Chains A and B, each alone.
Chain A
């Protein structure tokens, strides 16, 4: 089954404790991205990657890191989480060419930083 997976789905952590949210897709998509979603603000892009070893900042990259060492994986790293990073996070992937650029989303990770 074609899908994007994220882990963990739920995480409660404390300020300053490094964490990683994993993201993996099995569709051989070139393009992957991370969003955060907050009430009233909609989906905002954190980072995106057009292919292996190619990453770019989105609209709200501060406090986050990413890596793209393999095509299928795109982890999101919070080196020193803070309460303002409490949010719902989505990973997504799509092809970067062709007629349809349909973007597939992972199930989401709800992060709470206390």
Chain B
């Protein structure tokens, strides 16, 4: 398998910056996704990285390093509504399933 690893839980303070890491063991893949999922709701798309480097989208940024086998999601100016699970997923090719990590549950505290 792809062995996608993420920390199980993280806690951060409102207004701060938090980095959620994702490591994987696979060499060939099309791209890496980050999804946000609030409890009991469907995952929603945050970002998709194909090339190495940083992709910025508002308060959220995602980074990929293929050579190092890792990605991270950076959340700035944390808000209480950012309390959710964050899922890292790989897609190997167009006709293969997305493979998800188990997710990181982020708690934002005042």
Q: Which residues of A contact B (CB under 8 A)?
A: 31, 33, 40-43, 45, 48, 50, 58, 88, 90, 92, 94-108, 110
- Determine if A107 and B101 form an interchain contact, defined as CB atoms under 8 angstroms apart: no
- Can you list the 3 inter-chain pairs with the closest CB atoms, starting with the nearest? A42-B102, A105-B42, A43-B100
Complex CA–CA separation, A103 to B97 (angstroms)? 10
Q: Which of B72-110 contact A (CB under 8 A)?
A: 87, 89, 91, 94-95, 97-98, 100-103
- Determine if A106 and B42 form an interchain contact, defined as CB atoms under 8 angstroms apart: yes
Residue of A31, A41, A95, A110 with most partner-chain B CB within 10 A: A31
B39 to chain A, nearest CB (A): 10
Q: Which residues of the partner chain A approach B97 to less than 8 Å between Cβ atoms?
A: 33, 45, 48, 58
- Determine if B42 and A107 form an interchain contact, defined as CB atoms under 8 angstroms apart: yes
Q: Which residues of B contact A (CB under 8 A)?
A: 30-31, 33, 40-45, 48, 50, 87, 89, 91, 94-95, 97-98, 100-103
A60 to chain B, nearest CB (A): 12
A-B contacts, CB under 8 A, total: 54
Q: Which residues of the partner chain A approach B45 to less than 8 Å between Cβ atoms?
A: 102-104
Query: Can you list 28 pairs linking A and B with CB atoms under 8 Å apart?
Result: A33-B97, A33-B98, A40-B102, A42-B103, A43-B43, A43-B87, A43-B103, A48-B97, A88-B40, A90-B42, A94-B98, A96-B94, A96-B95, A97-B94, A98-B94, A101-B30, A101-B48, A102-B33, A102-B45, A103-B33, A103-B45, A104-B45, A105-B43, A105-B44, A106-B42, A107-B42, A108-B40, A108-B42
